[in-house]
Amino acid sequence: MKLSMMKRIFSIVLFAAAVLLLPTKSAVAQVNNYHSVLSEHTWHRLSVTQEGVYRLDYGTLQAMGIDMDQLNPDQIRVFGNPSGKLPEKNSEIRPDDLTEMAIVVEGAEDGSFDEGDKVLFYGQEPTRWKLVDQNGKTYQRERNYYSDTTYYYLCVDSGVDGLRVGEKSSLPVEDATTVISEFPDWVWHEEELFSPYFIGQNWFGEVISGDETLSIPFVFPNLVKEKNLRVVGTVYGRVSSGTMSYNIWVDDNHVVENKTIDYYKPHKYANPSVFEKQIVLDGDTALFEMSFVPNPKASLYLDYVEIYGWRHLKCVGGVFPFRLMPSQFGNDKTAIWVQNTNADYRLWEVTDPMSPVMQTGVLSGGNMVFATNEKTEKRYVMFKPSAAMDVVSWKAIPNQNLHGIALADNLILTSPIFLEQAQELADYHTELDGLTSVVVDVNEIYNEFSTGTPDPTGIRDFVRMVYRRSSGRLKYLTLFGRASADFRNIMGYGQNFVPCYETFADPHHELSFCADDYYALMDNNEGSNCEGKVDIGVGRISVSTVEEAETVLRKIRHFNDLIASHGEWKNDVIFCADDETLSYVENTETIYRMLDTICPSLTAKKVYCGAYPVVNTSNGVEIPGANRDLMDAFDKGALAMLYTGHGGVRGLTGDNVFTNADIAALNNYDKMPFVYTATCEFTKYDNPLLVSSGELMMLNPNGGCVALFTACRPTYGNHNILHSKALVKVLTQRDEDGLPLRFGDIVRMTKCNPDNYSSNPMVNLNIRFVFMGDPVLRFPLPHEEVEVRTINGAAIGSSDDLQLHAMSMVTVEGVVKKIDGTVDNGFNGTLWARFFDKKAKVQVKFNSASPRYVYYHKDVLYQGKVSVNNGRFSLSFQVPKDIDQEGGVPRFTFYAYDSINNVDAMGKYDNLSLGGIDPSAVADDEGPKIHFYWNSPEFVDGQSVERQGVLCADLYDAQGIYHYGYSLGRDIVLNSNLMGYNSMVLNDNFEPALNDYRRGRVTLPISDLKPGTYDFNLKVWDTQDNASEASLWFVVDEDLFLSQVHNYPNPFSEETYITMTHVGEDGNFDVDIEIFDIMGRQVAHVNRKVSATNGVIEPLRWGGYDQYGQALRSGVYLYRLTLTDEDGYFRTVSQKMIIER
């Protein structure tokens, strides 16, 4: 043996003697190395499932790809850590990185590793048995619910000699005063077969019903029959009414006799019943039997059963682990007597599993005896090297060094399947915000911080390391991937890409929780059962496929792209409330008043279910009016949607007002809101058997929402209002630079609000709210302010009696101001304005209370747009005739956007009154002028047209066009013989002209027209109740048909191909493509000569440049393609494309 090896072994012997007195360096919780052992050399991860001694032979190492000719056996090293779950409390000791273990390399004396040589190391099962009482007489099983496997790591090329098992000599045995010939042992049974509600760490095992009996055999070799055994366990009884009684036998011992379990209460799947009994066995085997008194309403589940007893210290099999309690040792020297052994066996003391030592002793007559004067718990394994077990599996591990991360603003934790998309998100924020975003594979976290086990505490320990090193700079954590309550993939559905924390609790639907907050608990005394206040903002992107990840990424970029997503919809907030109880509306009204006070520029859109008629259908009670208005509100866009009431994984309200089918139908990609739901488990994201409503909103490729703050478990109304108020207090705050807060900060501040937080996680329902989305995104509140300076020439503030009337002419002048309060003279763009009548009075009914009235600015009297030049604007309009004649307070709201500087602004003004009729108004009895056409102003009635196109109407009236919808019978209405287009209200299809309240245009795309003759009639009103009508008709024939016009890719960054198909005779054609921005301005024009062969026309390439050769900005563009044949017949189709630079 080499001298260096002898010194190494000697040091291990000394180390083992002190290991129980001092913690190892790797076990200090607050200290992290900057260099992981995995950062260099070659590594393989080894998997084991049982306690014992394992071997790595020549064939195994060779199969790993190790060059056996170059292998230096002295440098074979194995690393790991003690098995079991990591401690949840931050202040408790835990390992940092991997710790080297002492091993044996047999046959290495010749300096080479040959066939027949082997590596021996001690491996632990993932379940941990802890000595729990002060007298050292009781063990307790600590199940590892995160893994059925323990992992170790092999390195053979570090250039450093490895630790080796040393030798511990026995004291002389002759004068021992105490002899130990027995040891405590246990057998246990716990199957994980079923998760009630699919929640929590603990699962149920076998189930019986009726007159069934569950039988489980146990073997207790060499049982000390003179001593009692202790049987402990838990069952769960599920009975829908009354009670049930059950019995448990172990051989002839009646452990449980007709014990009663009450019926389960709401939200609780089953009631637990704990049993414990001292028994006596006559032999080395035992039969556990469980049954219950037959009850057709009942089922009985076994959670676990454990039998504790004493065995003679007699070696059984080739690998024989045993342990000795402190109470077994005498005051002086103690002799341990192991029977049924021989010279082929070795005895390792494995009290410190990282540093086994070979215990020597005296072998005589098939017995081994050794002596010690120690009085602490001892653990041993007696084994034959030839009987050492093979590892279950192994895997090569690439080099990594998460311990080297010094700082980050944002951590993005993900699974290997989403690394590319996660890195795209990190790069996006680096480029956009200058933030340091670090992407980390959770499997690498497991390797360095939880020894390969997918333990959520290992993830938190890693986050905490970066947080502490960053001195608070780390503010955001993004969990990129879905989670599952099935940590060990028992059901086989996968989905646990980035795990959440699951509470260990009875299967109580209301008291259990899953939480991402666990990863944001950074203080020393926090962590146990998710106790503590979050220190960073956490968000989850709950995706299961690359396609879903790409969808969410695209939505994030689009949502954050002001060029593509600006609009006056950013002034609106949807308030939605269920109708079961008065408290739902009262809570919603409370946060409405708060937000109206904190940020009055925002306008409420209230959808209160109790304000609509209820309809009984074959599908149950429905409220179609509420559904219509809510879907319409989503379609028109809103900055946020705030909901209070019933909800779940299949939608909101108990009356089918907002179902998963509605979520799938949302098509609001350009106007996606932030969604907050104070309801139960709208986003239960840890069940692999379903995709919750909240997740569906995130995953909808056509819109839905881009961020949700929502519950993943049941919540209560009294807490929901506290949580809602805490959110509203911070939702519209700005940071020190005047920018809207990031969602991560909003979530953190909401959860830490003292009115909303409790240190008890079972009371702190805060923990059940999860943020779905990118925490680094900012709440898209407009950046600057619109301020009114004069109305009808009167300076704001010069009079307290500013009055407007029906049919009054109104001129408003104002400015756009920067955050610092100065006029933004560089702001040049468009301002959208709305003028609301006084607050409408709406009656809301309830299932369990008397009706009440709510009030809000509902009816729009004017909606238009004007130019902003050098930060200043002026708009004029006439107040409609039909207003509420009683006096009240109206409100102006404004939204402005500067496309050159890419900045927006918002504002409001309501310090005025409205009522009565303007005495100076001139009566008008002439209706609007209507220019009604198909596709082109040059359209002629009776013309043959293509099968798709756009109905257009250019409108003019000196008093303005009515398109607001609050006055009955005054809508813009289309009638036609085309099915589905009769009595169609087109108010929302009206687009006001810029700088001219008198003009506007109605457009309606129509496609897939069948050959035939179609007629259309349009009726339009002005604001003084005068109507006009216009008609047109055309013929669709089969002479020329242009179809399948689209571009791919779409969205695109560098180039796209515009394709089309011609149905008809082949020939030569002119293709003319006009491209417009969302303001209607033509930005590019393409003209080509093409030919069709069998209807196929070669795709046209376009690089996204304007007519001056400049690359167009990111955004949404419309294009109009006209195909003209050699005889002059033409067809026109309009489509949309998206540029993402």
pLDDT digits (tens, 9 = 90+) for 679-695: 999 999 999 999 999 99
Omega before residue 1049 within 30° of 0, cis: yes
In this model, does residue 25 exceed pLDDT 60?
no
The helix/strand/coil state of 746 is helix
Distance set, CA 951 to CA 190, 1032, 1064 (Å)? 70, 10, 24
Instruction: Point out which residues pair with 180 in neighbouring strands.
Output: 336
The answer to whether 1005 touches 952, Cβ cutoff 8 Å, is no
In this model, does residue 224 exceed pLDDT 70?
yes
- pLDDT, residue 134, reads 55
pLDDT digits (tens, 9 = 90+) for 28-38: 446 889 999 99
- pLDDT, residue 135, reads 61
Rounded-to-5 percentages of helix, strand, coil across the chain: 15, 40, 45
In this model, does residue 577 exceed pLDDT 70?
yes
In this model, does residue 250 exceed pLDDT 50?
yes
Whole-prediction pTM: 0.86
- pLDDT, residue 1062, reads 79
- pLDDT, residue 15, reads 34
Q: For the chain, how far is it from start to end, CA to CA, in angstroms?
A: 67
pLDDT digits (tens, 9 = 90+) for 397-428: 999 999 999 999 999 999 999 999 999 999 99
**Nearest CA-CA partner of 601 in 794, 788, 730, 865:** 788
Least confident of 96-100, 451-455, 724-728, 1080-1084: 1080-1084
- The CA angle 905-909-914, to the nearest 5 degrees, is 145
Distance set, CA 566 to CA 205, 332, 904, 935, 993 (Å)? 55, 83, 8, 27, 18
Determine the angle formed by the axes of helices 582-598 and 717-731, rounding to 10 degrees: 10
In this model, does residue 379 exceed pLDDT 60?
yes
Q: How confident is the model at residue 7 (pLDDT cuts 50, 70, 90)?
A: very low
- pLDDT, residue 1108, reads 83
- pLDDT, residue 1037, reads 72
Q: State the Cα–Cα distance between residues 983 and 588, nearest whole angstrom.
A: 35
Least confident of 67-81, 969-983, 1019-1033, 1093-1107: 1093-1107
In this model, does residue 1039 exceed pLDDT 60?
no
pLDDT digits (tens, 9 = 90+) for 385-401: 999 999 999 999 999 99
pLDDT digits (tens, 9 = 90+) for 254-281: 999 999 999 888 778 899 999 999 999 9
Dihedral class, residue 275 (left if φ above 0, else alpha if ψ from -120 to 50, else beta): beta
- pLDDT, residue 1041, reads 60
Distance set, CA 442 to CA 400, 418, 448, 497, 500 (Å)? 12, 11, 10, 8, 12
Q: How confident is the model at residue 766 (pLDDT cuts 50, 70, 90)?
A: confident
- pLDDT, residue 701, reads 96
The helix/strand/coil state of 1136 is strand
Q: Over the Cα atoms of the chain, what is R_g?
A: 38
Residues sharing a CB contact under 8 Å with residue 417, sequence separation 6 or more, in sequence order: 481, 497, 546
Mean pLDDT, residues 1023-1044 taken together: 82
Name the DSSP class of 967.
S
β strands within 220-318, DSSP E: 229-239, 243-250, 253-262, 271-279, 285-292, 298-312
Q: State the Cα–Cα distance between residues 972 and 986, nearest whole angstrom.
A: 5
In this model, does residue 947 exceed pLDDT 90?
no
- pLDDT, residue 29, reads 47
pLDDT digits (tens, 9 = 90+) for 83-142: 999 999 999 999 999 999 999 999 988 999 999 999 999 999 999 998 887 565 688 899
The answer to whether 1057 touches 1101, Cβ cutoff 8 Å, is yes
Q: State the Cα–Cα distance between residues 1002 and 932, nearest whole angstrom.
A: 9
β strands within 647-775, DSSP E: 647-648, 651-652, 658-659, 674-678, 707-711, 769-772
Query: Largest Cα–Cα distance of the chain, in whole Å?
Result: 124
The percentage of the chain sitting over the pLDDT mark of 90, rounded to a whole number, equals: 75
pLDDT digits (tens, 9 = 90+) for 60-81: 999 999 999 999 999 999 999 9
In this model, does residue 511 exceed pLDDT 80?
no
Q: pLDDT averaged over the chain?
A: 91
Q: State the Cα–Cα distance between residues 461 and 441, nearest whole angstrom.
A: 15
**Nearest CA-CA partner of 604 in 625, 581, 627, 576:** 576
Mean pLDDT, residues 167-192 taken together: 94
The answer to whether 564 touches 1116, Cβ cutoff 8 Å, is yes
Omega before residue 1051 within 30° of 0, cis: yes
pLDDT digits (tens, 9 = 90+) for 468-509: 999 889 999 999 999 999 988 888 888 899 999 988 766 776
What is the amino acid identity at position 693?
S
Q: State the Cα–Cα distance between residues 744 and 478, nearest whole angstrom.
A: 9
Mean pLDDT, residues 604-610 taken together: 96
pLDDT digits (tens, 9 = 90+) for 903-921: 999 999 999 999 999 888 8
Domains of the chain (ranges; CATH) run: 3-173+314-395 (no CATH), 185-312 (2.60.120.260), 567-768 (3.40.50.1460), 784-917 (2.60.40.1940), 929-1036 (2.60.40.650), 1041-1139 (2.60.40.2550)
Helices (H) and strands (E) in the chain, counts: 13, 75
- pLDDT, residue 562, reads 94
Least confident of 452-456, 647-651, 940-944: 940-944
- pLDDT, residue 413, reads 98
Mean pLDDT, residues 610-617 taken together: 92
Instruction: Tokens for 362, please give them.
Output: 């005296």
Instruction: Point out which residues pair with 961 in neighbouring strands.
Output: 1022
In this model, does residue 19 exceed pLDDT 50?
no
Instruction: Tokens for 374, please give them.
Output: 């120690």
Determine the angle formed by the axes of helices 442-449 and 456-469, rounding to 10 degrees: 90
